[in-house]
Each structure stands twice: as C-alpha cells, then as structure tokens.
C-alpha cells in the first residue's frame, strides 16, 4: 500500500492547478480479530482496509475528502482523481476560511517495523488450549497497521508496524473478574502461556468474600491501569488548546484561575519509544518530548497549527483534534512492595470503568470501579469490593490529595478499534491519594 | 450493484454451508461552522464488502476493501479458513437458520434530496445560525453542525436472500457556550447530537433553524447567572431529549442478549438482567411500555431488515412494566432461547453484526406536561444530556444535563445550572410515576452508540414523552 500511496501522491501533485495545495494522508490495517467468550470462539475474521484522506486548499478556502482504497493502483488512482474533482467543484462554493495553514515541507521520514507474530492460521491453536478450564472473554487483534502522509510541498512520511494484543477478562463463578492485556510484536508462546497462568492465579484472589462499601471518602491506591483511565480523560475536553479557548476544558481553571495540581504530578508527550508515528495527519512532526504538566503546573497544552493561527500562539504540531498521542506520566518513589503498607487501610483499585466529566469546567469526573478492586486493612487485602460509583475532581486526585506516585512505570497499550486498530499506549505508574469519593 | 453482487457470489468457490455478501457504500458529508467560520467541510466515502461463510457450524468473515471478483474470491477462501480452524472451539454450532432468507427493499423517507441544497447554501445558512447563536458578548463560542449520511446496503446469500436498503440520514446541532466570570456553560440542540433522523434537505428550514439558534444562545447566557442545581432527594421530570439517554443506557443496553450471554463482559459489560428474567421481571412501574420499533417512520435507526436478514417488526420489550423480550437477533435467539427482535447490526462493511439497539421508544401515556409539573411539590426538570456513565451491569448510573428548572409547589420557577442525578436502574424505573401524552412525545437519536469487540459505533433512535420519577438523588456541579 505504501507504493500505491506514493504513486497516487506523486501523480496528483504533478497535476494540481495553479493555486491548489493538497495534503494526502492514509490510514489502514490488515487485521485479524478473534472474539472469545467462555474460552470458546464467538466470532472470527479478517479486516483489510485503507482510507485515503484529502485536504484541499484553494483561494483561501478549504475542504476535505476521504475514499476507500482497494489495493489496485489503476482503480485507486481513478477513485482519487474523481474525489479530487468533486472537492474542486465544492471548494469554490465555500466561504473563505481565515485560519487555513498551507502545507509545508519540513522534512520526510520513513519507519517500517515487521515482526515475527502469529500467522492468521496459527492463532486459534496457539491461543485457545491454555484458556481451557477458565471463563475467559476477550478479543484477539493482530496484524499490520499503517499510516502515510504527503503534501504538495514535497513532504512525505510513512509509518507501519505489526502488533498483536489479547485483551481479556477472567471471570470466576461469582462473576468477579480480573483483567489482562498480553500485547507486543514478536510472539512468544511460553511467555503467553505464563501470562495466562498468572492471570488465573490472580483470579483466585477474587474468591475472597466480597466487601460491601458505603459511599464516602477513602484513602486509595490506583494501579497504573486505573491511572491511565484518568489520563485518557485528559484528551477529551481536556488539554486541547482549542477546548480551553472555547470554554470546554477541565483545565481552564489552571489557565485562568491559577489552579495547580500536585508537585508530585508531571506528564509529558513522549515519542521516544517509536511505537507511535510522530507525524500528524498534516505530516507535521511533534517534538520528541513535550512537557504538559510540570510538577503540577500547566506547562503546555496540545496546540495544532490551525489553533495556533487562530489564537496567535505557537503550534506544537498536535493532531487536528489536539489529543495526547504518546502520554507518559513521571514516576515517583513508592515501590510496589511498599504499596499495601503505605496504603494501610483503604481501597486498592486496579481498573476504572465508563469515565465521563460530570462537571467538565469544575474538573469533576464520575465513573465506576471495575475488575480487581479490593478493600485493604492494615496493609492486608481483605476482599474484593462490590462495584462502586465515584465522583471526584482531578484537582483533588492529581492535586491536594495526591500523596505518592509509584516508582514502577507500566505500559497500558491502546486496544480500542473504533476506527481501526490504533497505535500507542498510556505509560504511567500507580498513585496513592489521601481521599477518593465513592457516591453510590 | 445488485447484479454485480450476484456475479461476485456466483464466482465464489468454497465448500461452505452458507455464504453471504453484504456490500456497504456510504458517503458522509459534514458541514461544520464554528464562530462564524468554516471549521470543516468534509466528504467521507467508505465502500467495501463483508464476506461471511458458515463452515462446520462456525461463521468466519473477511471485511474487504478489494471488491473485485478476484478480491472476493480470496476473501471467501480466507473466511472459510478462519471458520474451519475455529469450528472446534465454537461457542455454538450454527446452521443457516441464523441467516433467514430475506427479500425486499427499504428506503428512508424524505421530501428533498441534497442535490437541491448546494454546499454553498448550507454553509451560508449555518454561518447565519452561528451569528444568531452569538446572542451577546457573553457567548464565547458557537457551533453549527450538520452531518448527512447517504448509505446504500445490499445483501445477498447462498440461501436466497436479496435485499437492498438505502438510507438518508441527517444529524443537526447548534451549540453556544457562554461565560460570566468563572461560570462557563454550554447549551445545545438536544445534547448528544440528538437531532438525528432519517430525513432529507427539508430539515434545513431557515426560519426554524434561526429560531432554534436564538433560543439556544439565550439559554446559554441564562445559565451563566443561574444558581447551581440544589442537592437532595426530590422529584425528577425528564424531557424527551434526556429520556433518550435514560432509555438507551438503562433499558437498551441492559436488554441486549449478547451482553446477557456474556459476549461483552470484557468491554461494554454484562447486565443485571438474566435470561430467566424474561416474562417475569417487573422492570418498571405499570406505566412503563417500552418498544423496539425499527418501523417508526423517519426515526434514525429505522430499517427493513437487520444485517442477518431478519425482517424488522415492532415488538414490546416491556409491557406495563413487565419484561417481555430481549434485544437479540437470530444468533442470540438461537443461543439463548429468549424471544428477540431484528437487531443483528454492523456499523459498516468492515465489522461483523452483533446485537445492537435500533429504535427503542417509550410509549406515551395520558398526562399533559402541565399535569406532570403541577403534581410536583419540590423537584427539578432537566433537558439535554451532557454527561453519562453507568456500571458494567447497567445498574448504578449518573447522568448530567445542560439545562434545569426548579419545580416548586407545582410550578416551574428558577433556571438551574449543572443539574445531575444518580440512581440504580430497576428501582429508578419502578419510581416512574407519571408519563406524558402524545403532545409531549418527541423523537431523537444519536450516531454515537459504542459497543463490541472489535469496536463499532452505530446509530440509534429513541422517542419518549416527558416522564416524572419520584424521590431521586439530585445534585449540582463541583
């Protein structure tokens, strides 16, 4: 598909009319998905897709298009020309856009990573046997994902990688669950089987007598995954500069009212792992490392070139939707082996579920506990808790109430697949807070 | 398209027990004006075929962007291989009973095509609306958003299915955000892109849009000086645009049979409803009548057949509060033995169908709006969802709205901001005390229902009257 993308790009750019500027981007996948319920196969299949997106600028006007590519160059070039001609017919009817940013050539890049993963005809017999004897439910996703970007100023980027993930839950007879995600690039059967065996052992912890909690404020340790659940909300009506300017962000109080988070909390955009392309859909390269929250202070927000032009600020080449693409939270000093002792009596939360801003401007988030969440007394796990709703603010949890941050950073891979398989992860340690409010 | 699809099916050469081809050719057009300037004029086309085969009781699929004869042949062979390898671990051994023969067609109802409404005209109208939304300097941001989806679906199969469905769908929204000091509030046209329906360009009536824009701008400003919603246990009256979300989260998802069978436990979750609850569980008060109705004219998720070929019919899910039927397509009905509906749906050609909501509606009752309000001594009336969260068993929910009004001694009084409420599904529906009549009944929908592994976003419709719930935990902002 890289060759087709390059050939279409070159040919379309060479035939552009005077005054036209064009950016093309490609996103696609060759994926295998196997859905498992009760350690049996519910659905199995493959998906091949490639979407070519157009961004045309002409006479201070701008419009976008997208088509599906088939993998046959002649057919795809014909589709691309038809789409470009439709955009040309439309663009002259549109109002002027004062915030257009013309494409530039700031350099090109190429990164391609192949892996020794499971072949699609090996997957079932590699995955299923070790699942026997336990209620496992989840999704296997694997294969190649790819992205390209080019523009009429001569810039070109390509990124492709092969990955896999088995994102799963183990369920005991009382419907208590533990979560696991076995993800990577090269397949290692013995490591996989060890991971599943370890998850089965964790499930035994859930056999302890459940503890019924009452609403109230509790001292709480959040495992890395639970912290990543909070951090994922920072990309939704959060750290986008446009959202802050337009009155839809939980961080407005930090910008306008001088609010601060805890000096123990720092967050970066960090692309050094190479797992995520640094270029955005316009082909602009993000800084390798960008400080977002520096010891509790708002150091940078996510600023796209369009937002930069509109609000006369400097772009940091964020994507158009100004989300975090490679978030990494700084570690603290609390060692894993000291977590329960330091927590003393309180909640041990491994995962959260269905987070949403209950008061976006106030920075308040609601959601639920899920999976392996325990009540701890005097440093000892008493038992799993029933599902509880919480409602608390980031200014408490990452601010005044943050007591300690773990020293063990973990990678939480992105496993969502709404618009195709995704790159990336949220990398963060766990954290201990003095107070976490349960409400129902 | 249909003949081409027949040719493709005829060319497939795999020894499968059943083969189906489902082609989707969909064009989505977005017109988005922010603060009076074009933010996005986007055309997105997706086109591909889902090749599905049944081998040894197991379905296997390939969603392919290569729709040439050779491409479909290769896809069918791979789908066959996937199914064959998986069959020994199958959760259920299906037959082609799971893909009933279906012949026919469905077309969305509309009066005006979009050929009659140029991109320039629509941009011009939305720029006008954007200016009206900015009712004063307190309005710091405005959006006018229109999404038009023209989607053509064809389905043919080895056991004789041959149906086509052509959808024309529009989502329209107007949004104003206003600020007064540190108080910032947003008001929209129904929340959650709620003005979503099957309709044509006739939706873009200038007078109606500009009147709506003025109302939204005024209410956004009004909220900046409104009091916080009070905290306490009191009566709750919900407008139809919030009932949309209430029905969706605490009835719709809870009744999906694939969830009850456990398919979704790793992602969307399970359900407090059990298979043996059907026909027995008192889900809500006697006033509660919930229907699954893919035949409702113009509603967002109306259709003729689901993506497994089951014919769409209206069915009661809950009658006089009693749980009657689940949201399960043919596969789930076979697996569970529970009566279901035609709701085996996929988001596009690149996803396999699963149990999804379509149109789930609450049937109107007898009360007028005034009768409902006048019955309340102390309570809050809420419109338009802005925050939603519910647990993985669909029990403990917390929802927030854009706009609230205090109800004091039978009258609507002050406007309140940040109105929220929380409760547990089953007791909440049992607290349904009054249900509005046809005059209060309104139709909404949203393009954003997420579920499934791999994930799928699908369109749903919900229509409801105004409803009164007794003794609910209500509260305000941070």
**pLDDT tens readout for residues B207-262:** 999 999 999 999 999 999 999 999 999 999 999 999 999 999 999 999 999 999 99
Do both B238 and B220 map to the same domain?
no
Do both B48 and B197 map to the same domain?
yes
Structure confidence by residue, pLDDT tens digits, B296-317? 999 999 999 999 999 999 999 9
Window A:391-410, CB contacts with B under 8 Å: 391, 393
Name which of B67, B68, B85, B139 to mutate to probe chain A: the one with the most chain A Cβ atoms within 10 A of its Cβ.
Answer: B85
User: How far, in Å, are B29, B43, B347, B350, B447 from residue B23 at the CA level?
Assistant: 20, 19, 12, 10, 20
Structure confidence by residue, pLDDT tens digits, B88-106? 999 999 999 999 999 999 9
Name which of B53, B86, B220 to mutate to probe chain A: the one with the most chain A Cβ atoms within 10 A of its Cβ.
Answer: B86
Window A:210-249, CB contacts with B under 8 Å: 245-248
Does any CB of chain B come closer than 8 Å to the CB of residue A41?
A: yes
Residues in B touching A351 (Cβ below 8 Å): none
Contact B91 A41 (CB under 8 A): yes
CB-neighbour burial class of residue A333 (10 A; exposed 0-12, middle 13-18, buried 19+): exposed
Query: What is the count of structural domains for chain B?
Result: 2
Does any CB of chain B come closer than 8 Å to the CB of residue A100?
A: no
Does any CB of chain B come closer than 8 Å to the CB of residue A86?
A: yes
Q: What is the pLDDT, as a whole number, of residue B451? A: 97
Do both B169 and B239 map to the same domain?
no
pLDDT at B192 over 90: no
Do both B232 and B259 map to the same domain?
yes
- Å between A263 CA and nearest CA of chain B: 22
- End position of a domain, from candidates B225, B253, B274: B225
pLDDT at A165 over 90: yes
Contact B266 A137 (CB under 8 A): yes
pLDDT at A313 over 60: yes
pLDDT at B2 over 80: no
Q: Alpha-carbon distance A435 to A220, whole Å?
A: 7
Which ranges in A328-428 belong to alpha helices (H)?
339-343, 394-395
Does any CB of chain A come closer than 8 Å to the CB of residue B65?
A: yes
Do both B179 and B257 map to the same domain?
no
- End position of a domain, from candidates B174, B202, B225: B225
At residue B410 the predicted structure's pLDDT band, cuts being 50, 70 and 90, is very high
Window B:254-313, CB contacts with A under 8 Å: 261-263, 265-267, 269-270
Average of per-residue pLDDT across A134-158: 97
At residue B115 the predicted structure's pLDDT band, cuts being 50, 70 and 90, is confident
| pTM of the model as a whole | 0.96
At residue B123 the predicted structure's pLDDT band, cuts being 50, 70 and 90, is very high
Residue B46, strand partner residues: B26
Structure confidence by residue, pLDDT tens digits, A350-366? 999 999 999 999 999 99
Does any CB of chain B come closer than 8 Å to the CB of residue A113?
A: no
At residue A419 the predicted structure's pLDDT band, cuts being 50, 70 and 90, is confident
pLDDT at A78 over 90: yes
Window A:252-271, CB contacts with B under 8 Å: 252-253, 256-257
Give long-range contacts, CB 8 A cutoff, 24+ apart: A310-318.
A310/A98, A310/A99, A310/A242, A310/A245, A311/A241, A311/A245, A313/A241, A315/A284, A316/A286, A316/A287, A316/A290, A317/A280, A317/A284, A317/A285, A317/A286, A317/A287, A318/A240, A318/A241, A318/A280, A318/A286
- End position of a domain, from candidates B197, B225, B253: B225
Share of chain B above pLDDT 90, in %: 97
Closest chain A residue to the Cα of B81, Cα to Cα: A121
Question: Domain range spanning residue B119?
Answer: 2-225
Q: Alpha-carbon distance A143 to A421, whole Å?
A: 9
pLDDT at B1 over 60: no
pLDDT at B56 over 60: yes
Closest chain A residue to the Cα of B120, Cα to Cα: A93
Contact A49 B352 (CB under 8 A): no
Do both B303 and B385 map to the same domain?
yes
Contact B398 A37 (CB under 8 A): no
Does any CB of chain A come closer than 8 Å to the CB of residue B424?
A: yes
Strands A109-113 and A156-171: parallel
Do both B220 and B235 map to the same domain?
no
- Å between A347 CA and nearest CA of chain B: 18
**CATH code for the domain of B137:** 3.30.2290.10
The number of residues making up chain A comes to: 440
pLDDT at B329 over 80: yes
Do both B158 and B36 map to the same domain?
yes
In this structure, the number of other CB atoms found within 10 A of the CB of residue B229 comes to 24
Do both B155 and B16 map to the same domain?
yes
Structure confidence by residue, pLDDT tens digits, A44-68? 999 999 999 999 999 999 999 999 9
pLDDT at B289 over 90: yes
Residues in A touching B224 (Cβ below 8 Å): none
Residues in B touching A171 (Cβ below 8 Å): 262, 265
Average of per-residue pLDDT across A380-404: 97
Do both B367 and B246 map to the same domain?
yes
At residue B191 the predicted structure's pLDDT band, cuts being 50, 70 and 90, is confident
Does any CB of chain B come closer than 8 Å to the CB of residue A33?
A: yes
How many Cα atoms sit within 13 Å of B148 on the Cβ side?
A: 22
What are the structure tokens assigned to A13, written together? 């750019």
What are the structure tokens assigned to B127, written together? 């720029």
Do both B400 and B451 map to the same domain?
yes
Q: Alpha-carbon distance A429 to A93, whole Å?
A: 51
Does any CB of chain A come closer than 8 Å to the CB of residue B385?
A: no
Q: What is the pLDDT, as a whole number, of residue B118? A: 87
At residue A413 the predicted structure's pLDDT band, cuts being 50, 70 and 90, is very high
Do both B273 and B373 map to the same domain?
yes
- Å between A355 CA and nearest CA of chain B: 6
Are the CB atoms for B65 and B48 separated by under 8 Å?
yes
pLDDT at B116 over 70: no
Contact B453 A87 (CB under 8 A): no
Does any CB of chain A come closer than 8 Å to the CB of residue B191?
A: no
Contact A358 B400 (CB under 8 A): yes
Does any CB of chain B come closer than 8 Å to the CB of residue A42?
A: yes
Residues in B touching A357 (Cβ below 8 Å): 387
Contact B81 A121 (CB under 8 A): yes
Structure confidence by residue, pLDDT tens digits, B445-470? 999 999 999 999 999 999 999 999 99
Name all domains of chain A by residue range, CATH numbers in brackets: 2-205 (3.30.2290.10), 216-438 (no CATH)
Q: What is the pLDDT, as a whole number, of residue B300? A: 98
Strands B58-64 and B37-55: antiparallel
């Amino acid at each position: 598909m890289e060759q087709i993308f390059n050939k279409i790009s070159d040919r379309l750019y060479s035939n552009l009319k005077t005054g036209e500027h064009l950016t093309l981007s490609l996103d696609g996948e060759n994926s295998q998905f196997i859905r498992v319920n009760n350690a049996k196969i519910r659905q199995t299949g493959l998906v091949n897709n490639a979407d070519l997106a157009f961004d045309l600028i002409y006479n201070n006007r701008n419009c976008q298009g997208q088509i599906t590519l088939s993998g046959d160059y002649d057919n795809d070039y014909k589709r691309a020309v038809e789409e470009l001609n439709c955009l040309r017919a439309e663009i002259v009817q549109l109002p002027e856009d004062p915030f257009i940013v013309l494409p530039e050539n700031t350099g090109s890049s190429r990164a391609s990573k192949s892996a020794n993963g499971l072949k699609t005809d090996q997957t079932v017999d590699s995955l299923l046997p070790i699942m026997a004897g336990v209620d496992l439910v989840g999704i296997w996703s694997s294969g190649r994902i790819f992205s390209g970007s080019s523009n009429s100023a001569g810039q070109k980027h390509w990124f492709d990688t092969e990955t896999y993930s088995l994102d799963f839950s183990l369920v005991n007879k009382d419907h208590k669950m533990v979560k696991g995600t076995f993800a990577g690039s090269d397949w290692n059967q013995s490591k996989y089987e060890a991971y599943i065996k370890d998850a089965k052992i964790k499930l035994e912890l859930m056999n302890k007598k459940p503890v019924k909690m009452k609403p109230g404020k509790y001292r709480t340790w959040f495992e890395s995954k639970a912290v990543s659940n909070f951090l994922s909300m920072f990309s939704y009506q959060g750290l986008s500069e446009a959202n802050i300017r337009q009155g839809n962000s939980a961080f407005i109080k930090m910008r306008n009212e001088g609010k601060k988070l805890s000096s123990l909390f720092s967050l970066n955009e960090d692309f050094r792992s190479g797992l995520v392309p640094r270029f955005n859909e316009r082909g602009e390269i993000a800084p390798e490392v960008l400080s977002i929250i520096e010891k509790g202070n708002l150091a940078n927000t996510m600023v796209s070139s369009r937002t930069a032009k509109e609000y006369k600020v400097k772009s940091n080449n964020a994507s158009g939707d100004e989300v975090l693409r490679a978030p990494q939270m700084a570690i603290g000093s609390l060692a894993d082996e000291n977590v329960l002792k330091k927590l003393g009596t309180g909640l041990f939360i491994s995962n959260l579920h269905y987070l949403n801003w209950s008061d976006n401007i106030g920075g308040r988030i609601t959601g639920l506990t899920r999976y392996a969440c325990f009540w701890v007394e005097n440093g000892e796990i008493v038992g799993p808790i029933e599902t509880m709703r919480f409602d608390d603010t980031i200014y408490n949890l990452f601010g005044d109430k943050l007591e300690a941050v773990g020293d063990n950073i973990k990678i939480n891979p992105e496993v969502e697949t709404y618009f195709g398989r995704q790159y990336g992860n949220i990398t963060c340690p766990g954290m201990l807070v003095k107070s976490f409010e349960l409400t129902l | 398209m249909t003949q081409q699809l027949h040719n493709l099916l005829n060319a497939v050469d795999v020894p499968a027990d059943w083969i189906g081809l489902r082609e989707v050719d969909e064009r989505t057009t977005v017109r988005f004006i922010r603060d009076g300037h074009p933010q996005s004029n986007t055309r997105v086309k997706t086109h591909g075929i889902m090749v599905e085969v049944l081998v040894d009781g197991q379905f296997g699929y390939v969603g392919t962007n290569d729709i040439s004869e050779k491409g479909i042949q290769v896809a069918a062979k791979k789908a066959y291989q996937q199914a064959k390898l998986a069959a020994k671990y199958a959760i259920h051994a299906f037959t082609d009973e799971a893909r009933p023969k279906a012949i026919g067609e469905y077309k969305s109802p509309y009066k005006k095509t979009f050929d009659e409404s140029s991109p320039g005209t629509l941009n011009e109208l939305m720029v006008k609306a954007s200016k009206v939304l900015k009712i004063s300097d307190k309005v710091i941001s405005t959006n006018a958003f229109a999404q038009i989806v023209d989607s053509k679906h064809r389905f043919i199969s080895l056991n004789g299915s041959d149906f086509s469905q052509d959808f024309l769908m529009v989502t329209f929204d107007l949004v104003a955000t206003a600020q007064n000091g540190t108080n910032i509030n947003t008001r929209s046209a129904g929340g959650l892109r709620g003005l979503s329906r099957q309709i044509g360009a006739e939706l873009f009536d200038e007078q109606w849009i500009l009147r709506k824009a003025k109302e939204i701008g005024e209410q956004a400003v009004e909220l900046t000086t409104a009091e916080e919603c009070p905290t306490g246990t009191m009566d709750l009256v919900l407008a139809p645009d919030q009932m949309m979300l209430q029905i969706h989260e605490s009835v719709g998802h809870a009744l999906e049979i694939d969830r009850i069978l456990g398919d979704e436990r790793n992602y969307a979750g399970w359900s407090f409803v059990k298979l043996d609850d059907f026909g027995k569980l008192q889900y809500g008060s006697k006033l509660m009548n919930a229907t699954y109705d893919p035949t409702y004219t113009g509603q967002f998720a109306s259709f003729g057949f689901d993506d497994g070929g089951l014919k769409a019919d209206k069915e009661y899910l809950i009658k006089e509060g009693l749980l009657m039927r689940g949201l399960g397509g043919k596969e789930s009905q076979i697996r569970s033995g529970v009566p279901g509906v035609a709701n085996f749906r996929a988001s596009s050609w690149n996803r396999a169908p699963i149990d999804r909501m379509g149109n789930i509606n609450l049937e109107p009752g007898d009360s007028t709006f005034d009768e409902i309000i006048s019955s309340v001594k102390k309570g809050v009336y809420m419109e338009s969802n802005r925050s939603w969260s519910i647990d993985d068993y669909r029990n403990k929910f917390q929802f927030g709205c854009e706009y609230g009004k205090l109800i004091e001694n039978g009258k609507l009084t002050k406007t309140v901001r940040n109105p929220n409420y929380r409760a547990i599904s089953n007791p909440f529906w049992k607290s349904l005390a009054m249900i509005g009549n046809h005059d209060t009944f309104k139709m909404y929908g949203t393009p954003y229902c997420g579920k499934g592994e791999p994930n799928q976003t699908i369109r749903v419709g919900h229509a409801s009257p105004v409803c009164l719930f007794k003794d609910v935990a209500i509260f305000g902002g941070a």
